[in-house]
Amino acid sequence: MFSYRIKQFYWAIESIFVKEDMEILKMYLSISELNLFMKLTKSERQHSIRVCRTAIKYIEDNNIVDIDKKRMARCALLHDIGKLESKLNIFYKGIIVFLNSITRGKFLKYNKNKKIISYYNHPEVGARLIESINNDECLDVINSIKYHHNKSDIDSKNIYLKVLSISDDCN
């Protein structure tokens, strides 16, 4: 787990936005979603794009036919959109994740810092954000965003959430 966090930290530092990334965003996101997405930090945007690519590859490699590729891409690209509210830099985020890990969750349990609380509640915040800009939003997308960190909520009923969780864990 610790080596995986180091790899994530490295990815965050070296994240580079390329032309192909913008093409993916324009292909799958609406204008209002793209405007929100571009407000994320560079490292969060890159993470979400990697998750999107992983999810698309996963459904193609596993021949999953009962999944809409565009909907899956939107779930992946928007899954961390709730982090807009916290805006933590990568060093601060690394310290928080480390402290929470060594205290086995007690750091968060007793922390009253609004940014930190918001960071750890980003799935619910993100679901509300997407609901507010898309009145006709598909429940699969909203629920995938809202529950992507709740492993107990991942069941076979929402294939988008299952693929998102797998893809997010890889990135």
The CA distance from 67 to 160, in Å, is: 7
> How would you class 93 by CB atoms within 10 Å of its CB: exposed for 0-12, middle for 13-18, buried for 19 or more?
buried
Q: Which amino acid is at 156?
A: S
| Token output for 23 | 């093409």
Grade residue 154 by pLDDT with cuts at 50, 70 and 90.
Answer: low
Distance, CA of 163 to CA of 23 (rounded, Å) = 22
% the chain with pLDDT above 70:
83
Question: Distance between CA atoms of 145 and 91, rounded to whole angstroms?
Answer: 25
DSSP state of 67: S
What's this model's pTM, rounded to 2 decimal places?
0.81
Between 8 and 140, the higher pLDDT residue: 140
Give the chain's domains with CATH numbers.
18-170 (1.10.3210.10)
